[in-house]
Amino acid sequence: MHSLDANFTIVAPAQEIAAALDQRIDRKTKPLGALGQLETVARKIGLIQQTLTPQLANPQMLIFAGDHGAARAGVSAYPQDVTWQMVENFLAGGAGINVFARANGLGLSVIDAGVAHDFGADRAGLIDLKIAPGTANYLEEPAMTAAQCAQAIEQGARAVLGLAAAGCNVVGFGEMGIGNTAAASLITHCLTGMPLAECVGRGTGLDDAGLARKQALLAQALQRYRATGGDNDAFRVLAEFGGFEIATMVGAMLAAAEARMVLLIDGFIVGAAALVAVHLAPALLDYCIFCHRSAEPGHAAQLQAMNAEPLLDLGLRLGEGTGAALAFPLVRAAVAFLNEMASFESAGVSDKA
Amino acid sequence: MHSLDANFTIVAPAQEIAAALDQRIDRKTKPLGALGQLETVARKIGLIQQTLTPQLANPQMLIFAGDHGAARAGVSAYPQDVTWQMVENFLAGGAGINVFARANGLGLSVIDAGVAHDFGADRAGLIDLKIAPGTANYLEEPAMTAAQCAQAIEQGARAVLGLAAAGCNVVGFGEMGIGNTAAASLITHCLTGMPLAECVGRGTGLDDAGLARKQALLAQALQRYRATGGDNDAFRVLAEFGGFEIATMVGAMLAAAEARMVLLIDGFIVGAAALVAVHLAPALLDYCIFCHRSAEPGHAAQLQAMNAEPLLDLGLRLGEGTGAALAFPLVRAAVAFLNEMASFESAGVSDKA
């Protein structure tokens, strides 16, 4: 059993205001429940902020990037260099997440949690939290040491404190790391108990032979872990399979929930970080909005384990936080209806006969 | 067989540009197909506008309101006065559709196609296209005459020509009319062949007894129509069951497709209008983006008949065009990625190994 160096105090929102929130939602000029999942989101944010008039302030996307030792073994359709190349694409504003964050009014920062590349000093938009230039290869040894894992969590937490100080109260999580669907598959298997085969998918686009190879390699990694006495402790699983971007994200999520922010959870890899964070602090779930259902098969196991019903189901499998950025207008709309819609009384509309 | 007074020339978009659109989408810095339905939307809008760089200009919501003679017979959970009261709510900016249109940058106009109420002269935001103060009761006679139906279609078309002249190329459709899920159920049954019982739902919130009563009344209306020789001709079905807001919307859709606009199709009632319009001009389907899957059960039959895969599935059943307004950011994001995302070449990112 491992523990965190950093302490997080994450408490479930008080429920006293829930009845008043329900009443406010139900008296809006609409049939009862007619705004479906938007009503659930409005209620959740009202609870997080403990108010009938929540506000979303200075929304930000954080994109966590890292490399994986196992990537060179052939668990991805793309070469490892794509990680740093895509970070450069983020910094130049040309990636999908840049387009969607711009379109939907979200700020964006990139965190180098452990990319195997030197980006040079003082790059605008890039936060250097590099633990090491890529994790070790979990086919041979743990991806990171317990100390590295704790450091990543602590650094992720500190990055979020910076956002909170800037008045941000809603943060979207995204990631980049060639090989990170493989790490997410292993984490998902260990923390949900779903068979490994059902947690492994094509990632960025493996063909049948590539998928079979990925399945075999991950089974081998799991076998090695179990042979060393590896259990399903969330912290140990995280350190064992990585990556640094996932561990740093776990810390950021814990700090964001502690700061009572709204957490926008993207797809499969961000979902793996959320799964770890929820195991470390179950009340974190009350701060999460699950933004989309990924086409990656292991995502279903995560959603089931966290009892989550995502907002979008568009067949997305790009990662980067694109699902979170795309769902953000729905979150904003949920808050807007709670604040701006008239009630039957205020609008002089007759209620149900 | 009835025919339209107005002639519409709606042609399917030329397909010559399709390969270039696919190429442009596939070379973006993302795995092939990783943006899922957004790629379908981007391709569709590129085809509609016949360009690799489509633009969405001056987006507008049109909300069509009308009353139904059958409403007084008990097909709705709400009193008929709610139609005009909600129109007032729209004009005051307090309804769900106002909130979502504002949040997502859509203009909004309300069209009185046949509300049983005098709104007074020169109301800002209200377009007076009233055919009559409510349709006749289809339990006893056709909801409207063929002449009224043709007039509604023609008026709807003219309203859209006004938008086109103002530079609008994307229009969202919404509606208000107590009793109009009943009309939509009858239209859906006739034009899809699905059993009537599967096309009838709780609308604004009928209980079990109310639903049974609605089912019985609609079966009775259908029986009366069949006894008078009523067939499944789209125009005749529309005139028989109404309402004026649906018929006016059909004309608006036909004109919008003729003007090569992007049509944002909301849920069950707007879907019924789309079903009629597609029967009158099959190529209209190429201009439609289906925005959400309604919780109203008959919507599934419509979507199947039009081979449509909606963007959102949030359990919405408010109408007003709220699903269209809520999905608009996804449509905007689809166009944005096509225009703004870097390619593998332009960003210097390595392609799949």
Tell me: the pLDDT tens digits for A156-211?
Answer: 999 999 999 999 999 999 999 999 999 999 999 999 999 999 999 998 889 999 99
Provide φ and ψ at A90, rounded to 5°. -60, -45
Q: What is the pLDDT of residue B130?
A: 98
Alpha-carbon distance A51 to nearest alpha carbon in chain B (angstroms): 20
Highest CATH level, class, for A60-337: alpha beta
- The end-to-end CA distance of chain B, in Å, is 60
User: What is the overall mean pLDDT for chain A?
Assistant: 96
| Shortest CA distance from B84: residue in chain A | A349
Q: In chain B, which residues have their Cβ closer than 8 Å to the Cβ of A290?
A: none
Residues pairing with B111 in the sheet: B64, B127
Q: What is the pLDDT of residue A6?
A: 55
Give the Cα separation of A162 and B341 in Å (integer).
29
- Regarding predicted confidence, which is higher, A258 or B76? A258
By CB atoms closer than 10 A (0-12, 13-18, 19+), residue B4 is middle
Give the Cα separation of A42 and A62 in Å (integer).
23
Give the Cα separation of B341 and B328 in Å (integer).
19
Q: In chain A, which residues have their Cβ closer than 8 Å to the Cβ of B95?
A: 29, 341-342, 347
Q: Helices (H), strands (E): how many in chain B? A: 14, 6
**Mean pLDDT, range B35-52, rounded to an integer:** 98
Which is nearest to A341 in space by CA: A18, A13, A35, A5? Answer: A35
| Shortest CA distance from B176: residue in chain A | A30
**Mean pLDDT, range A314-318, rounded to an integer:** 96
CB A25 within 8 A of CB A42: yes
What is the strand order of the sheet B170-176 is part of? B126-128, B107-114, B60-66, B170-176, B262-265, B288-290
Tell me: the pLDDT tens digits for B133-167?
Answer: 999 999 999 999 999 999 999 999 999 999 999 99
Provide φ and ψ at B55, rounded to 5°. -135, 145
Query: Which of A84, A181, A330, A331 should one mutate to test binding to chain B, selecting the residue with the greatest count of B CBs within 10 A?
Result: A330
A318 pLDDT above the threshold of 60? yes
Q: What is the pLDDT of residue B6?
A: 55
Share of chain A above pLDDT 90, in %: 93
A49 pLDDT above the threshold of 50? yes
Neighbour tally for A231: CB within 10 Å:
11
Confidence of residue B1 (pLDDT cuts 50, 70, 90): very low
Q: Which residues of B are catalytic?
A: 320
Q: What is the pLDDT of residue B72?
A: 86
Domain boundaries, chain A: 60-337
Q: What is the pLDDT of residue A300?
A: 97
Amino acid at A69: G
A352 with B94: Cβ contact below 8 A:
no
Alpha-carbon distance A219 to nearest alpha carbon in chain B (angstroms): 23
Tell me: the pLDDT tens digits for A75-109?
Answer: 888 899 999 999 999 999 999 999 999 999 999 99
Helix or strand run (H / E) with residue A189: helix A180-192
Query: Which of B25, B27, B29 should one mutate to test binding to chain A, selecting the residue with the greatest count of A CBs within 10 A?
Result: B29
By CB atoms closer than 10 A (0-12, 13-18, 19+), residue B17 is middle
Q: In chain A, which residues have their Cβ closer than 8 Å to the Cβ of B33?
A: 315, 317
Q: In chain A, which residues have their Cβ closer than 8 Å to the Cβ of B350?
A: 78-79, 81-82, 85
Alpha-carbon distance B93 to nearest alpha carbon in chain A (angstroms): 8
Q: What is the pLDDT of residue B2?
A: 43
User: What is the overall mean pLDDT for chain B?
Assistant: 96
Residue with tokens 């604004």: B204
Helix/strand/coil for B10: coil
Q: What is the pLDDT of residue B4?
A: 57
Confidence of residue A353 (pLDDT cuts 50, 70, 90): low
A82 with B32: Cβ contact below 8 A:
no
Q: Is-catalytic flag, A320? A: yes
CB B298 within 8 A of CB B12: no
Kindly state the tokens that stand for B199. 């096309």
Q: In chain B, which residues have their Cβ closer than 8 Å to the Cβ of A333?
A: 99-100, 103-104, 326
Confidence of residue B74 (pLDDT cuts 50, 70, 90): confident
Name which of B29, B98, B295 is nearest A36 (Cβ-Cβ). Answer: B295
Name which of B32, B82, B341 is nearest A96 (Cβ-Cβ). Answer: B341
Backbone torsion region of residue A216, taken as left when φ is above 0, otherwise alpha when ψ lies between -120 and 50, otherwise beta: alpha
Tell me: the pLDDT tens digits for B257-282?
Answer: 999 999 999 999 999 999 999 999 99
CB B225 within 8 A of CB B138: yes
